[in-house]
Amino acid sequence: MMEQLRTELSACRLCADRFAATATRHAPRPVVWFRPGARLLIASQAPGLRVHEAGTPFWDRSGTRLRDWLGLDEESFYDRSRVAIVPMAFCFPGYDAKNSDLPPPPICARVWRDRVLSELTDIRLTVLIGGAAMNWHLGRGPGVTERVRAWRDHAPDLFPLPHPSWRNTAWLKRNPWFGEEVLPALKSRVREVMEDA
C-alpha cells in the first residue's frame, strides 16, 4: 500500500506547467522520503534547489542546522525506518523575483498529504517547520514566533520550529530563548523517540 503510494507520488507531475513558468523552468521532481515504521515526522516546507538536484531532503545548509537542532547525525537523520520527511510540497517550487523560494503549491498538500500521513501510523514525535506546516497541522493561528514560543503547549509530542534556513540567522539571534529552552527539550525528546525501538 505504502509502496504504491510512493510510486504514484514519485510520478506526480501536477505542477509541471507552474514550474515551467518559473525562472528555473524546472520539471517536477518529488523528493519522497518516508517508509513504514518511522516514528519521527519532520513536517517541512518544500525542497530547495540543492535538494531538488540531489533528490535528498535537507541536503543543504538548512539540513546541517536542522540536524544540529535535533541532535542527530546524518546516518540517523536519513534512516527512513525511523525518520519520515514529509514537506508541504514534495517538489522545489522555484524562485520569486527576490530569489527566495516560492511558497509550496497548496495543491500538493491537498492531493497528497492526508494519504501520506495516514500511512505513517507509528509517529510519536512531529516537528513542524515553518508557517505552512504549522497552519496545516495546528490550524490557522498566530505567526511562527508566537507558535514557537508556545512550544510547551504541544511538547513533548510536537514541536513547532522556525525554518533552519540561513535566512533565519537574525531571528535566532533575536530570540535566544529558542536555543536555551526549546532545543534542549527537543533534543531530549528526539533521543527518547529514536532510541526506543
**183-195 and 61-70 helices cross at what angle (nearest 10)?**
80
Q: Shortest Cβ distance from residue 131 to ligand SF4 (Å)? A: 18
Segment contacting ligand SF4 by CB under 6 A, of 56-64, 106-114, 119-127, 134-142 = 106-114
Cell of 2: 505504502
Is 48 an interacting residue with respect to ligand SF4 (CB under 6 A)? no
Nearest to 46 by CA among 97, 112, 98, 1: 112
Is 84 an interacting residue with respect to ligand SF4 (CB under 6 A)? no
Cell of 102: 516560492
Write the single-letter amino acid at 6: R
Q: Which is nearer to ligand SF4, 10 or 169 (CB)?
A: 10
State the number of CA atoms in the 13 A half-sphere of 162 facing the CB.
24
Cell of 114: 492526508
Binds ligand SF4 (CB under 6 A): choice among 3, 7, 8, 13: 13
Is 30 an interacting residue with respect to ligand SF4 (CB under 6 A)? yes
Is 94 an interacting residue with respect to ligand SF4 (CB under 6 A)? no
Q: Shortest Cβ distance from residue 92 to ligand SF4 (Å)? A: 8
Residues 111-150 as x/- pattern, contact with ligand SF4 by CB under 6 A: x---------------------------------------
Strands 125-129 and 83-85, how do they pair? Answer: unpaired
Q: Are 99 and 115 in contact (CB under 8 A)?
A: no
User: How far from 40 is each of 81, 153, 183, CA to CA, in Å?
Assistant: 10, 19, 16
State the number of binding residues for ligand SF4 (CB under 6 A).
13
Q: Which is nearer to ligand SF4, 18 or 187 (CB)?
A: 18
Q: Shortest Cβ distance from residue 30 to ligand SF4 (Å)? A: 4
Segment contacting ligand SF4 by CB under 6 A, of 11-19, 117-125, 134-142, 166-174 = 11-19
Cα–Cα distance between 39 and 50 in angstroms, integer?
26
What is the C-alpha R_g of the chain? Answer: 16
Is 12 an interacting residue with respect to ligand SF4 (CB under 6 A)? yes
Binding site for ligand SF4 (CB under 6 A): 12-15, 28, 30, 89-91, 105, 107-108, 111
